[in-house]
Amino acid sequence: MGALYFISDVHLGALPAAEESARESRLLDLLEQVGTDGERLYILGDLFDFWFEYSHVVPTTGLRILNALRDLTAQGIEVHYLAGNHDFAIGSFISDTIGCRIHREPIDVEWNGTRFHLHHGDGLAGKDTAYRLMTRVIRSRAAIWLWRLLPPALGFAIANRVSGTSRHYTTGKNFGSDERTHSQIEALAARGYDYIVMGHSHVAEESRLEGGGTYINLGSWLGGGAPCARFGEGRMELTWPGDRPLTI
At residue 170, does pLDDT exceed 80?
no
What is the pLDDT at residue 154? 73
What does the chain come to in residues? 248
Amino acid present at 85 = N
3-state secondary structure of 84: coil
Does residue 182 contact residue 211 with C-beta atoms inside 8 Å?
A: no
Amino acid present at 133 = L
Query: Higher confidence at residue 25 or residue 15?
Result: 25
At residue 8, does pLDDT exceed 80?
yes
At residue 96, does pLDDT exceed 90?
yes
* Alpha-carbon gap, residue 47 to 51, rounded angstroms: 9
What is the pLDDT at residue 47? 95
3-state secondary structure of 65: helix
Mean pLDDT of 97-122: 94
- Within 10 angstroms of residue 139's Cβ, the number of other Cβ atoms is 14
What is the pLDDT at residue 167? 53
pLDDT tens sequence across 190-232:
899 999 999 988 889 899 998 789 999 999 998 778 899 999 9
Query: Higher confidence at residue 144 or residue 78?
Result: 78
At residue 133, does pLDDT exceed 70?
no
pLDDT tens sequence across 42-56:
999 999 998 887 777
Which of 2-11, 66-75, 112-121, 128-137 is the least confident region? 128-137
Contacts of 196 (CB under 8 A, 6+ apart): 116, 117, 119, 185, 188, 189, 209, 213, 214, 215, 216
- Within 10 angstroms of residue 240's Cβ, the number of other Cβ atoms is 20
Q: Where are the domains of the chain?
A: 3-247
Within a 13 Å sphere around the CA of 114, how many CA atoms are in the beta-carbon half? 18
3-state secondary structure of 177: coil
In which element (H, E) is residue 126 found? Answer: none
User: If you average pLDDT over every residue of the chain, what do you get?
Assistant: 84
Does residue 48 contact residue 59 with C-beta atoms inside 8 Å?
A: yes
Within a 13 Å sphere around the CA of 118, how many CA atoms are in the beta-carbon half? 28
Q: CATH topology for 3-247?
A: Purple Acid Phosphatase; chain A, domain 2 (3.60.21)
- Within 10 angstroms of residue 6's Cβ, the number of other Cβ atoms is 25
Partners of 195 in beta bridges: 116, 214
Burial class (CB in 10 A: 0-12, 13-18, 19+), 204: buried
Within a 13 Å sphere around the CA of 138, how many CA atoms are in the beta-carbon half? 16
Residue (of 201, 193, 194) closest to 123 by Cα position: 201
3-state secondary structure of 48: strand
At residue 247, does pLDDT exceed 70?
no
Pairing state of beta strands 235-239 and 3-7? unpaired
* Alpha-carbon gap, residue 14 to 49, rounded angstroms: 6
pLDDT tens sequence across 79-93:
999 999 888 878 889
